[in-house]
């Protein structure tokens, strides 16, 4: 089971935010209870979409002191570490599948003084993470195939989340929390929580909530099982 000291974290993914009011969206998300702002960077190659660059991270950094987690869905993430680090990212989360030099990438993130994340796609065997577990601060498991917001949660990924949590604990990595990203809503969050996830990245459920950003986060927090 996940380390009980891992408090549940809501990470607001600005992929679904109104970019005409980005600073306000970030501030409202944090006021509403999001501990992290999640920035999805896509290059049109690793995933079939093109999104945002360092200038967006700079804008988020000016708007909030919350943790900025930059999710690098890009080929050759090593080319983008410095630009996003200097833009104000607190954590950098590249994909295991995106580079042949993952040790070098993670070591460079640490050398830049940033938190080290690693992301894996739904079809990737979690045991491929074993050689780099000593280098990471959190693991992001995609619960959709990456590239677009608003996709349906893939329940078949839950056994992998559960197996990864058990595997980490057996190896002594109880301190590494698991994040899930994709289709996270008040309906799917409890299932991911019970599987061992503690960081919940949500976009549409927050920024497209009919009652507003704060209500979207409140609904997610209300869905956390056994919360204090």
Active site residues: 40, 181
Residues 116 and 151: their CA atoms lie apart, in Å, by 26
DSSP 3-state of 186: coil
CA atoms of 152 and 145, how far apart (whole Å): 10
Cβ neighbours around 38 below 10 Å, total? 28
Instruction: Find the length of the chain.
Output: 228
Q: What is the enclosing helix (H) or strand (E) of 200?
A: strand 197-202
Full DSSP string of 89-124: -SEEEEBGGG-S-HHHHHHHHHHTT-EEEEEE-TTS
Please identify which residue in the block is written with the tokens 């938190």.
115
């Amino acid at each position: 089971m996940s380390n009980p000291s891992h408090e549940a974290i809501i990470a607001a993914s600005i992929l679904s935010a109104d970019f005409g009011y980005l600073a306000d969206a970030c501030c409202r998300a944090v006021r509403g209870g999001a501990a992290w702002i999640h920035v999805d960077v896509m290059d049109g190659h690793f995933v079939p979409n093109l999104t945002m660059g360092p200038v967006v991270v700079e804008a988020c950094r000016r708007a909030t002191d919350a943790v900025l987690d930059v999710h690098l869905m890009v080929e050759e993430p090593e080319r983008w570490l410095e630009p996003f680090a200097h833009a104000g990212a607190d954590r950098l989360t590249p994909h295991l599948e995106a580079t042949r030099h993952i040790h070098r990438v993670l070591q460079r993130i640490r050398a830049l003084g940033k938190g080290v994340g690693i992301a894996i796609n739904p079809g990737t065997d979690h045991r491929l993470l074993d050689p780099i577990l000593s280098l990471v601060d959190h693991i992001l498991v995609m619960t959709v195939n990456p590239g677009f917001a608003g996709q349906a949660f893939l329940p078949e990924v839950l056994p992998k989340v559960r197996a990864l949590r058990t595997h980490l604990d057996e190896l002594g990595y109880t301190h590494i929390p698991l994040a899930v990203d994709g289709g996270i809503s008040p309906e799917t969050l409890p299932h991911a929580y019970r599987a061992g996830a503690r960081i919940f990245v949500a976009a549409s459920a927050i920024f497209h909530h009919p009652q507003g950003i704060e209500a979207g986060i409140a609904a997610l927090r209300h869905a956390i099982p056994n919360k204090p």
